[in-house]
Amino acid sequence: MAARQILSESQDREDSLNIDTPSSAPATLIDLLTTRASAIKLVEPGPSEEQLASILKAAVSAADHGRLRPWRFVVIRGDGRRRFGDLLARVQQDADPAASETQLESARAKAMRAPVIIALLCEADPASKVPVIEQQFAAAAAGAHLMLSAKALGFGSNWKTGSAAYHPIVREGLGCGRDGSIIGFFYIGTEPKPSPLARAPIESVVRHWSD
């Protein structure tokens, strides 16, 4: 089925859900996929309640092994970002007990870099026959859906991990279980200007077995 046809069907569904889509939205799904880039800067406005609901709905539609649905989301926005910033400052203090108030403040400020941050967790089931790493793959696929659906609605995004994603203070603060992991922090907002696309030539990453 042609991409344009798929888009027009999803457009119908979108219309029926009355979701706000910008006129600058890419013309086809392939355009959407091939023009994604990490945002350099993200400002207000962030996605509305309704747009966030569609972004999350797209995320839970990612490919999954065994229908385990291992993804969990913590939507952080408004003053909730200060709570997240406090966790980042505690990580900084743990790494460097002599950190100055200025350094701690700059760690806190990281949480204010976008109107919305979605922390994506994978709550893996180690007893499942699906390997934990594959449960994490599925959760990461949900992360890609988050970014792409945000783009479809006219927003930029950034996937970040850093030491915070692996630190017990953040894991505990976000309610990550013993067998869970943090897949990333997805910063979402409006891009003041689009990021340049940087792609490796297809030939450098693809091998064909055709005979």
Q: Which residues bind ligand FMN (CB under 6 A)?
A: 37-38, 159-162, 184, 195, 198
| 38 annotated binding-site participant | yes
Q: How far is the CB of 41 from ligand FMN (least distance, A)?
A: 12
Least spacing, CB of residue 32 vs ligand FMN, in Å:
14
Closer Cβ to ligand FMN, 19 or 140, answer by number: 140
Give the residue with the Cβ less far from ligand FMN, 14 or 31.
31
How far does CA 173 lie from the centroid of its chain? 19
Is 161 annotated in some ligand binding site? Answer: yes
**Beta-bridge partner residues of 181:** 122
Q: What are phi and psi of 118, to 5 degrees?
A: -110, 115
Residue least distant from ligand FMN (Cβ): 38
Using CB atoms within 10 Å of the CB of residue 80, give its burial: 0 to 12 exposed, 13 to 18 middle, 19+ buried. middle
Q: How far is the CB of 140 from ligand FMN (least distance, A)?
A: 7
Tokens linked to 24: 């600058």
Task: Kindly list the distances between the CA atom of residue 131 and the CA atoms of 75, 125, 139, in Å, as whole numbers in the listed order.
Answer: 27, 9, 13
Q: How far is the CB of 139 from ligand FMN (least distance, A)?
A: 11
Q: Which segments of the chain are extended strands (E)?
A: 71-77, 116-123, 156-160, 180-189
CB of 34 to ligand FMN, least distance (A): 11
- Is there a binding annotation on residue 119? no
Quote the tokens at residue 122.
């994978």
Question: Using CB atoms within 10 A of its CB, is residue 102 exposed (0-12), middle (13-18) or buried (19+)?
Answer: exposed
- Report whether 71 belongs to an annotated binding site: no
| Of residues 8 and 161, the one with the C-beta less far from ligand FMN | 161
Give the residue with the Cβ less far from ligand FMN, 168 or 194.
194
CB closer to ligand FMN out of 56 and 88? 88
Query: Is 152 assigned a ligand-binding role in the annotation?
Result: no
| Sign of the C-alpha dihedral computed for residues 82, 83, 84 and 85 taken in this order | positive
Task: Please enumerate, by residue number, every residue annotated as part of a binding site for FMN.
Answer: 36-38, 65, 159-161
